[in-house]
Each structure stands twice: as C-alpha cells, then as structure tokens.
Structure 1
C-alpha cells in the first residue's frame, strides 16, 4: 500500500465504513425484528401460511442473495481500487504539471485518467443493475408463487371462500413483509460489497504504525535545432499581482552549446524564473529568447521543450515504481539505459538491493525515499531523456558533499560526452566547480559574470 493510498484511505475509509458498512448492519437488525414479529403473528393465525411465505418469499430471496453476493463483493473491491487510482492520477497531474507540460505527457496522463474513469463507470453500472433488479426479481417470484398456490388450492377442491381468504392473508402478509425482505437483502448486499473496508481499515492502522515508527499534442509544430547558442534579449518578467514589480529586468545573456553555467544569488533574486524562461515555461513580458538565431514562440515552443530536461529542488515523483518514474510515461522501456542512468547518479547499488529492483514501488511522492534519493532519481530521469539542455534548480541541495561531488563529476562527464548544455542554480558553491562561468543575479538583473576561482576567492 503506497503512501498516497494510505493518505486517501485515511480520509475515505472511516466515512465509508460507518455509512456504507455499519449503517446497513443497523438496517438489517431492525428489519429482522420486524419480520420476526410479523411471522410470529402469521404463525399464530395459520402455521400453513408461514410455510407458504417461506416457500414463496424467503427461500427465493435467499437464493438470489447467494447468487449476487460474490459479484457485489468483487465489484466493491474493484470500485474502491479504481477510485484510489483516479484520485492519484488527478493529484499527481496537478503536482507535476511543470514536468508533464515540459515533457509533453498531457495526453498520456489524460488517457490514463479516462481509462480508469471508464472502468469505474462500468463497475458502477453493474452494481446499480444488481441493486435495482433484486427487488423486482423477488416480487415477480412472489407473484408467481401466488399463481401456483391458487392452482394448487383449486386442485385440492378447496372452496372458493377458503382460497380467497388464504390468498388475501398471503397478500396482506407479503405486502408488509416484502419491503423488509428487500431491505434485508439490500443491506446484506451492501455489507458484502463493502466488507473489504474492514481489512483496509486494519491495513491502514498497520501502515500508519509502520510510518510512525520508522491537451498539448506530441507532434511538434516546427522543428528547432540547437547547435550554437541560446540568447536572451532584453528579457523582462513581472509579478502577476503587480506588473510594476519586476522579477527579471533587462536580461541580456548568451549561453553557448555544451557550456556549463552557474547561477547564484539571494532568495527572490529571480534565479528559478530565469531557468523557466530559458525552458520556455514562462513567456517574458518583454524581450525574447532565441535558439540558433530562431526566436522561441508559439510555433516552435513544443519543439524547444524536446531539447530540455529540468530537475527541481523538490522533484515530482510518481506513485509507482522506479521504471514509472525514470521513463515517466515513455512507451518503450530501456532497462539497460535505466541502470546506466542510476549508476551515474549513485543509485544503482541501492536499487539492485531491492526485492523488486526496477519494479519496486517507491510510494506516492517518493514516500519510501530520502530527500537525496528523490533528487538523484529525478536526475536519472533527466539523463534518461537525453535532452540537449539540462537545467538543475537546486537539484543537489539534499545530497551530502561526497555524493554531490560524485554526481556533479558524472554530469560533467556526460556534458563532454554528449555535448550537452548544463545550467545550474545553486546555493552550495561546491556544486559549481565545473562551471565555465557563473552569473550573479541581484534583484532580477545579472550584475556579475565570473569564473569559479573568482567566486571561491571572493567568499
């Protein structure tokens, strides 16, 4: 049971257990008392009528319940499972919007949501058919029983007055008993349908104790090449709430192919915003971005996204296994390539030690991973994509010094091998060791352009 499933069960199961499971038990007990009272009265009047009611109403109702109960139990479990998956997809899509939009996986996640919703609707229809058809079937059997009784009484030469009296008493008794029988069966079916909630409730308690203890199309409109440089010309970005306040102002910058650029500055200086502008996630209010002298606009923004991989300080982790998170909606899985990416970010040994290895579930939001492991997983995803531009927004902040050094060395090797461009936002200066140059951002403006040696000597 993943963390997201535990979270949703904590919210859903107590309500469902009280309303969908315990309440039908109360109804069942109430209706049983009503029927016992009525049958006692009928038996005192005429014990034969009790037998008639048993044959005509209770036995058919019990047989129908036996026929439907397993179906309702299975449908109930499946419906709950699908509801959890639907909620997870919606939550993950909202939380990971930037990653999904940048990698053009909207259709994949929308498709997954629609498929799960169709399954949920199909199950709900079947449950509704059973619930609606059950009382009708019992009523028709009761009517059929009356016809059989009438023919039986006529065959035994019973007088018409006796037949009329018997049938009248039968109808009067059945008229009051039938609703109770239907409610009892409806309650039994609901109890069977939601019986699994007891097991989930127990499992949630166990898991909580354990935790406590320990629509954009994918075909790009216009292709764009990146062989020379990225250029930002007079870029200006304002706050949404107040256009007079600038996040970035007068940014003029050139980044050459295969360069490693560092960006430093105080919090709120505009470092992340600058990264988003380069990635095409934010459109400047003024100015523009060029790639190899081609201006980025609506006609080619999707093609530019194809060249970008970005890793955030708080990476988006899917509630799934390692494959799901590294491939991130990819249709073709290359396990050999995944292992290589995990090796580069110092995770191969750890993943190979897991029982399921690449198929091991890591929980909603990476609940079973440390902060450093989440960041390295996001780095592995970015490397797996093999984009031309790698943007790291405080992407190694949760790593210890030694691991960060090894990861940055691996990224430097990849930069040289693949001829990729790397742009790093960092507060920890040691992660900027391999940068060709470092930009100081102050109040939305680039105020200094320096080498790593200059940065270290100025500290």
Structure 2
C-alpha cells in the first residue's frame, strides 16, 4: 500500500498534510533517489517475509485446527454411542447415526474454524477502519453506513436460503447413507429377490437429492460472492464521488485533499478483502448451521440416554438369580412384553424357556443380561438388585449366544477373543472342541488367522453359529444363555453340541430358549411363556402329561415331524 507513496517524488506535496505519514515522508524526502529505492526495497522485503511467515502459520492452523476439532468431536460422539442404552439403537437408523457421529463433526469443525476466521478478519477490518478514521472521519462515516447497510442486505437475502440448503444437504446425506448401509447389510436378500433395480432407484433418488441440494447451496454462494464484491466496489466508488463534492476550487487545497482521498481509497480498498472473507465465512457458517445444531442435539440425546450403572461388584460365585414381579413394556407397544415374572434360578440349574414367538422369552433374556432395564420389578443376584450392580462386571459373568450371530471382518482368533485379554492357545482350542468347530477350522487356509469376511461371510450359517458358541464358552461365564443358539445347525452337529453343553450342567447356570422342544427335554425346569407371562412350569415329563400349552406345542411339533 505504501510503495506508490514512498516511490513518488511528489509524495511530500500530495500526502504531507496527513498526520504521521507527513512526518514519515518529510524524512524520506531528505534521501536521494538511490537511498529511497534501497529503503523501499528493504521495506518491501521485510513485509514480504513477514507476510509469508504469517500466511504459513495461518495455513498450518487452518489445516490442523479443524482436524483436531473433528477428531475430538467424532470420538466424543462414538464414545457416547458405546455408552447409551440399547433402546436408542432400536429407535434410530444406522445411516442417521453415521451421519450425525462422523459427518456432522466435520461441518461443525468448519464452522468453528470460520468463527476463528471471522475474528481474524474483524481484527484486520478494525485496523483498516482505524486508519481511514484517522485519515478522514467524514468519509469514514459515509463509508461505514454504506458497508453496514450492504452487510445487512446480504445477510437478509442469503442467510435463510443457505440454512435451508444446508438442512437439505444433511437430510439427503442421511437418506443416501441409509440406502447404502441397507444395501451392504441386505445384499443377499437383494440378490435373492432380484431387487437390484429397486435398490438402484432408491439410492439414485437419495443421491440425486443430495446433488441437487449441494448444487443449490453452491449456486447461492456463487451468486452472493460476486454480488457482495460488486456492491463493495461500488461503495468505494461512491465514497470517492461523495468526497469529490467537498474538494475546494483552490488548486493547492485540492492537491492536499486529493492525497487524503487517495490514501483513504487505498485503505478502504484493502478493507474490502477481509470484509469479503468475513462474508464468505458467514456463508459457510449459515450453510453448516443445521448440521452443527443437529450434532448438539445428538450429543444431548447421548447424554439423556447414557447408561447409568451401579457401583456394587458381583461376588466370586453366583448362587442364585431371582426375578421379582418383573415387567417390561416397549415404548411403542400398548401391551406389556413381560408381566409380573417371578422365578428363582439356582446355581448349576438348567432352565428352558419355551413358547410361541412374541411370548417374551428374548425380552426376559435382555433384562437378565442387563441390556435393558425393567419397567417395574427387580432382578436380584444373590439378593443384590441388578440396578445397583456394576453392569460391565455382571456381563463378564454372563454369556449370551443368540440365533443372529455377529462376526467381525477380522481373523477367527480375534473373533473368538473379542472383548477378552491374555487368552492362551489351549483355551481357544478347548472352546472350539466344545462347540464342534475343529473339523472345519482345520480346513481354513490360515487356521485361526483366517479372515472371516464381513459378518463372517466366508463361513456357512452353521459354522458361524458354532463360532459364536465357542466365543461364549471361551469367556467361561457363570451363566450361559442360549437364545435359539442351535437353530441353524444340522441335527448331528446340534446333538453333539448338546452333549458337550450338558457336561456343564451342575457347574453353571444354563438358560436355553428353543422352539424345537426336543432340545430342552434334559432341562431341570421348563418355563412355558405366553403373552409375557409364565403359564406353566415343571420338568419335561410332568408338563408332557399335563393337558396344557406345553403338551399342545409338543403335539403340534409331532404332527409337523410326521
């Protein structure tokens, strides 16, 4: 900005009346031409070096700060998801959670960075404003009014469109992520149903909505960016025209006034750059404001749904588990899933839960495992209320094998030792033998180090089920729950596993849920459930002779077998 001034031989005549600058130019005018050029070159070199250093640090901060902020936000969201209640996952789609936990932090980091950018540009604006105010208070007043009106005009016409476009982008991204997630999870069904065309249309609609929303946002920015620059330039020209009206007809006074006006215009023009940056930062904030607010709502939901555990630890041994007036009702259901369940399960006892689908068997298991909390009633572990127990320590004492297996896209070894530490090879082999897995494990290309694929895709359904059983046995829990754990096995594998599991009878509490009643004949007690209630209880032979629901279920299965 000062190069044209200090290089001008008549600068003292034009700018000499301006405070401070006039003094500087008076001293500069005493130098000869070569000294003036040397001074100008030295001054420019210092400014270039300082500017380069400043720009480098600004660029580094601009790269590292958003990344660090995003990392903290993503990890906070992910930790929150790991510690919330199980019901929260039932009420929210995976694609929605992915967007809110992974993608929203990126937008919030951009907002926070641009807030810092606004502060930086405001500082520059204040510096240039102080300069133009020092040069001419009158012209500063005129320019300030014009700039304020300009900023208000731009905000009124751009703020809501940018916020709406940001919301549309977020909604479209959620739909796109949900479509993609369900495609990956349900690819087998999609192929079996020849539904590739349907899924393509679904994803294409979601992606098209995302592109249209993004296009809309970019067009709004494209329109208001040049528009703001044009209007701002008009302000500079307007200030020059208005100032010219105050020039005196006297040539000497006109020359001095022209120096002030010229320096004022230069400073005002420099002020436009941070003003434009300020407007661009504001546009980014408006565009990402919905995602930022939605992330804040997401964090509030995580806090509200955070699992709260007791402080009491489980004893070294578990002698009994009691359910006292236990009831549970899902939020979206009118009827209770469980009603006034009262049972006592002793150490070493094998209990079977049977009944039609929807009778409450799996709900009872979820309550016993601490996944969900009862609506009313209590679960007592050796007379200690489960609500007062440290649930992570309780889950170390209980193992659940469900019909729906979940295997990581990792090695067989890591799937078996998932959540465990310091597991030796001998223990792994013993668990695999108990679950009748060794025959097919020996045939795997890399043995225990074989990568199983997404959700264990490289194994058959029965093999996945047996790996799940082995994983539970490897953790050596005091209570083992089998929720239709052998439903995917052939009769030979099922019989062999049952014989191995019966060896645990008397050592551990075994709770078995099964629709095939032949698998529960050896249970010490069979609890027959219907509509959330226990309607019958007893040994297999006693219930078989009784003309009740159990005997009816037996006859029905015998008819099917015939």
Aligned pairs for 1:142-291 (under 5 A) are: 221-225=311-315, 226-242=317-333, 244-291=334-381
* Displacement of 1:427: 0.2
CA gap of 1:304–1:328, structure 2 versus 1, over 3 A, is same
CA deviation digits over 1:181-223, x for unaligned, max 9? xxxxxxxxxxxxxxxxxxxxxxxxxxx9xxx9xx999x99321
* Displacement of 1:300: 2.7
Asked if the contact 2:525–2:538 (Cα under 8 Å) also holds between the matched residues in 1, the reply is yes
Question: Is the partner of 2:353 in helix, strand or coil?
Answer: strand
Question: Is the partner of 1:268 in helix, strand or coil?
Answer: coil
CA gap of 1:426–1:316, structure 2 versus 1, over 3 A, is same
Question: Is the partner of 2:363 in helix, strand or coil?
Answer: helix
Partner of 2:385: 295
Question: Is the partner of 2:423 in helix, strand or coil?
Answer: coil
Question: Is the partner of 1:415 in helix, strand or coil?
Answer: coil
Distance 1:442 1:450 in 2: 15
Distance 2:448 2:327 in 1: 43
* Displacement of 1:342: 0.7
- Structure 1 portions without partners, runs of 5+: 1-85, 102-112, 118-207
* Displacement of 1:456: 5.1
CA deviation digits over 1:277-299, x for unaligned, max 9? 11111111110000111111144
1:425 to 480, 496, 513: 513
Question: Is the partner of 1:272 in helix, strand or coil?
Answer: helix
* Displacement of 1:331: 3.3
Using the size of structure 2 for normalisation, the TM-score is 0.42
Distance 1:376 1:325 in 2: 12
Distance 2:512 2:323 in 1: 17
1:437 to 517, 525, 531: 525
Partner of 2:416: 326
Asked if the contact 2:413–2:449 (Cα under 8 Å) also holds between the matched residues in 1, the reply is yes
Partner of 2:48: none
Asked if the contact 1:261–1:438 (Cα under 8 Å) also holds between the matched residues in 2, the reply is yes
Say which one has the larger Rg.
2
Higher relative contact order by CA 8 Å / sep ≥ 6: 1 or 2?
1
Distance 2:543 2:426 in 1: 39
Asked if the contact 1:222–1:303 (Cα under 8 Å) also holds between the matched residues in 2, the reply is no
Between Structure 1 and Structure 2, how many residues are aligned?
259
Partner of 2:540: 452
Asked if the contact 2:313–2:389 (Cα under 8 Å) also holds between the matched residues in 1, the reply is no
* RMSD over equivalenced CA pairs, Å: 3.4
Distance 1:441 1:275 in 2: 13
Question: Is the partner of 2:359 in helix, strand or coil?
Answer: coil
Partner of 1:351: 441
Distance 2:377 2:491 in 1: 39
* Displacement of 1:438: 0.4
CA deviation digits over 1:146-202, x for unaligned, max 9? xxxxxxxxxxxxxxxxxxxxxxxxxxxxxxxxxxxxxxxxxxxxxxxxxxxxxxxxx
Distance 1:412 1:425 in 2: 15
CA deviation digits over 1:364-410, x for unaligned, max 9? 11101111111111100000000100011111100111211110111
Distance 1:278 1:451 in 2: 22
Question: Is the partner of 2:338 in helix, strand or coil?
Answer: strand
Distance 2:399 2:310 in 1: 17
Question: Is the partner of 1:353 in helix, strand or coil?
Answer: coil
Aligned pairs for 1:17-416 (under 5 A) are: 221-225=311-315, 226-242=317-333, 244-416=334-506
Partner of 2:249: none
* Displacement of 1:333: 3.3
CA deviation digits over 1:107-145, x for unaligned, max 9? xxxxxx99xx9xxxxxxxxxxxxxxxxxxxxxxxxxxxx
Distance 2:344 2:383 in 1: 11
Partner of 2:121: none
CA deviation digits over 1:210-244, x for unaligned, max 9? xx9xx999x993211243210000011012114x4
Using the size of structure 1 for normalisation, the TM-score is 0.52
Question: Is the partner of 2:467 in helix, strand or coil?
Answer: helix
Distance 1:369 1:301 in 2: 32
